[in-house]
Amino acid sequence: MISVNKLTKIYRTPFKTGNVVKDLFARSYKEHVALKDVSFEIGENELVGFIGPNGAGKTTTMKVLAGILYPTSGDIQVLGATPFDKRPEFLKQISFIMGQKNQTFWELPATDAFEFNKAVYEIGDEEYKRTVGDLVDLLDATDIIKMPVKTLSLGQRMRVELIAALIHTPKVLFLDEPTIGLDIVAQSAIVKFIKEYQEKYKSTIMLTSHYMQDVERLAKRIIVIDQGHILYDGKLDELVAQYSNVKKIYVTLLSPLPHDFHLHDGVNFRYEFPRVEIDSPRSHLSEVLSHITKRLEFSDISVEDEPIEEIIKRVFTARKG
The predicted pLDDT at position 191 comes to 94
The predicted pLDDT at position 240 comes to 84
Q: What is the mean pLDDT of each run of 10 residues along the chain (321 residues)?
A: 96 81 76 95 96 91 96 96 95 90 88 95 95 94 93 92 95 93 89 94 93 90 94 91 87 92 84 92 89 92 86 78 56
pTM value is 0.83
The predicted pLDDT at position 207 comes to 95
The predicted pLDDT at position 197 comes to 94
What's the CATH superfamily of 2-240? P-loop containing nucleotide triphosphate hydrolases (3.40.50.300)
The predicted pLDDT at position 180 comes to 87
The CATH number for 245-305, chosen from 3.30.460.80, 3.40.50.10140, 3.30.70.250, 3.40.50.2300, is 3.30.70.250
Helix segments in 40-183, DSSP class H = 58-65, 88-91, 110-120, 125-139, 154-166
3-state DSSP assignment of residue 92 = coil
Where are the domains positioned within the chain?
2-240, 245-305
By DSSP bridging, strand 2-15 and strand 229-235 are unpaired
Contact 104, 154 (CB under 8 A): no
> Across the chain, which distance is largest between two alpha carbons, in Å?
82
